[in-house]
Amino acid sequence: MQKNIAELARLLNVKYKPDGHLEQAVVHRSYLNEHPDFPLAHNERLEFLGDAVLELVVTEYLYATYPNPEGELTTWRSALVNGDSLSELAQKLGVEPFLYLSRGEEKDINSKARHYILANAMEAIIGAIYLDFGWDKSKEFITDQVLSQLQGILDSRSYADPKSLFQEAAQSKMATTPSYRVLEESGPDHNKIFKIGVYLGKDLIAEGQGSSKQEAQVDAARQALIVKAW
């Protein structure tokens, strides 16, 4: 099913290039499994490129703007470019209806996997903008859409690492250090999903999911803070 990529370009506020990379940026691997004759490849190479462009633009801005120590800048950067932030941005920009997905993925609307797909597509879109329009346009897009979120993140302290916050609270309130255990692994090697539980002693407090063990631990700690109201 052909998508109206010119409309996607309009939503992203970039020029539509019929021979550009934007359409490939929204092609998920699963779609090609059902449509092997589709003329475009999936978006994972663009995602790889866009991730690097995004990180460099954000890093350059933080370095030039704030004299803070490396550790703080790294934390702020992570808050801007993590999967949750990019997934929210993709939803805000209206990317989701333009995704090329398998029938199974199409039905899986509000799952954690859909959030990963959206985040990855957002990185791929940045990679496409870089290839089609160059560094300056990529920087402009990232400044407008990503760096514009920084002040809100700083004001709300949402950049704070949930694992550190939960550990500090657990040690202060219960004299206990949290532990994390892998509960489940699923998905192919190139797209693993980990489910991890966070424990206080023998008690399972909350579960989290992520495309890496570290990401799943952070999600579990975030859920645990909510469960314990800390």
CA distances from 79 to 52, 55, 161, 212 (A): 16, 12, 9, 16
Active-site residue, from 51, 105, 215, 219: 51
Token match 């993590």: residue? Answer: 82
The question of whether 123 is a catalytic residue gets the answer: yes
Measured distance CA(192)–CA(27) in Å, rounded: 19
Q: Of 17, 152, 149, which is closest to residue 93 (Cα–Cα)?
A: 149
Instruction: Give one DSSP letter per residue of 67-102, joined into a string.
Output: ---HHHHHHHHHHHHSHHHHHHHHHHHT-GGG-B--
Phi-psi region of 24 (alpha: psi -120 to 50; beta: other; left: phi over 0): alpha
The question of whether 19 is a catalytic residue gets the answer: no
Active-site residue, from 23, 47, 123, 132: 123
Q: Which residues are catalytic?
A: 51, 123
